[in-house]
Every structure is written in C-alpha cells, then in structure tokens.
Amino acid sequence: MSLHVDVRGTGPDLVLLHGWGMHSGIWGGVHDELARDFRVHAVDLPGYGASPPCQPYDLPQLVQAVASALPSRAGVIGWSLGGLVAQRLGSIHPQQVTRLMLVGATPCFVQRPDWPCGIEADVLQNFARDLEHDYAATLMRFLSLQVRNGENVRTVLKYLREALFAHGMPGAEVLRAGLNILLENDLRTEAGRLALPLSIVHGERDMLVPADAARWLAAQVPDARLNIIPGCAHAPFLSHPKVFMQEAREFFS
C-alpha cells in the first residue's frame, strides 16, 4: 500500500510518526523547524489523513506499511502510537533506521501484573466503547487526557482540537483497531535488542504514559539518552518545542 508522506526540506532523511487519532499535520511548526536541517518525511499512518487503511489493521501491518514508505536510511521520531510502531521498526528493520527518538512512548501502554508503568486497560476499553456513541466527543476527551496536568494546557489543547479533523476524519474502525494495538502489544522483550542510537523524550507529568516507562526503557538500551521534561505532559513537541528541538538537532546531527 502507498502512504501519504509530506516531505519538506533538504539534508539527512528524518521520518515523523504521529499518535493515535491524529495525522502528520500534528507536527505543525516542528516540521518546518526540522526542515531547516533535514529532509523531513511526515507520514500519515494507515487510515489517517490521506493514507488508506491497511488490512488487517494490526502492528505488523502498520510497520510493514511504514517501512515501505521510508527512505532506505533515515532517522525516525515516533510519538505515542507512532513510538510503538517506531520501536518495532527499529527492531526488525535496523538497516533502515539510523537513529531513533521516542516521544511520549512506551513498550507497553497498559498495566500488567509485572508492569505498573501503564494506564488501566479500562481507560482504553472505555474509549473504544464510547466511539460508538459519540465519536467526536470521545476523541476530544482523549486530547484532554494528553494535556492534563501539564504546562501550557490551553495553548496545546487548542492546537490539538484545531488539528484533529484538519486532514479529514479517521474511520471508527481504524480508531478501534488502533486502540486494540495499544491494548494488546507488549514490546518489552524487544527493548534490549534495539541496537541503534536511542533518544527518549518524555513529559514528567504525562498522564497517558507514565514517565517511569521512559526510565525503564532507557535502562534497557546501552547509552540511551533520556530527557524527562519538567512540567510537560504527553506532547512535548507542542508544549515545550524549544526543548524538543534542541534535543532533536543535537541527537540527529
């Protein structure tokens, strides 16, 4: 399948992978800033923006679709669901990924008996159920969870709400399948096999992905860079763009 990719700038190739419910436009001004130094490929994941959905809609298919859309060698930045895709991509296609930055990401989104660093499965299951009754309101509630307790809440939430449907509306089936990916996948056993330079950027106040998940992941990968941003929630590139851009430029340059 062919994914929609918004390419800007010149220089080393750098790929941006967005989170659940969003599209490549969420990167906004960060995309333009990065394009000053890199050839930036902002990907619409399957079923979002201008990209068609894949079948079956699961993590292996998402990774295969993204791998086909990538340059032969590129740095990758993955946020949230995009971070899950990026981890698997770096694990099974290390020849394609030169460096990996994970933003608000985790190897396992939900709590398990041996994994307290996630959210309760009921939270995601309730979002999946509520999509049937009030599609738009459910997505808006998810955006509110992403900014809760962070700094610059009004500014970030306003941007997220304006961007949400700016590139079209993802189908309810795609959204439900994406939530299932977050619920079902546990990549912890793959973490130690990420044999490439890794940067982890995470919000100290992230209510969707606890910061302890980032600390755990950094401990699994030798020489991983860990930047936990004080006062930051789930979208550091929106709430703290200067800190995010400084780390991105240092790491990928």
Please list the helix, strand and coil fractions of the chain in percent, rounded to the nearest 5, in that order: 45, 20, 40
- Cα–Cα distance, 86 to 63 (Å, whole number): 8
| 156, 29 Cβ separation under 8 angstroms | no
| Residue 195: other Cβ atoms inside 10 A | 11
Give Cα 11 to chain centroid, integer Å.
Answer: 23
| Residue 71: other Cβ atoms inside 10 A | 16
- Cα–Cα distance, 223 to 191 (Å, whole number): 13
Read off the DSSP letter of residue 166. B
Q: Is 145 assigned a ligand-binding role in the annotation?
A: yes
| Residue 113: other Cβ atoms inside 10 A | 5
Q: Is 143 assigned a ligand-binding role in the annotation?
A: yes
| Residue 53: other Cβ atoms inside 10 A | 18
Catalytic residues: 80, 206, 234
Q: Is 234 assigned a ligand-binding role in the annotation?
A: yes
**What are the tokens at 89?**
């991509």
| 1, 54 Cβ separation under 8 angstroms | yes
Q: Is 20 assigned a ligand-binding role in the annotation?
A: yes
Q: Is 91 assigned a ligand-binding role in the annotation?
A: no
Classify residue 119 as exposed, middle or buried by CB count within 10 Å of its CB (0-12, 13-18, 19+). middle
Read off the DSSP letter of residue 115. B
Binding site residues for substrate, as ranges? 20, 80-81, 142-146, 234
Binding site residues, as ranges? 20, 80-81, 142-146, 234
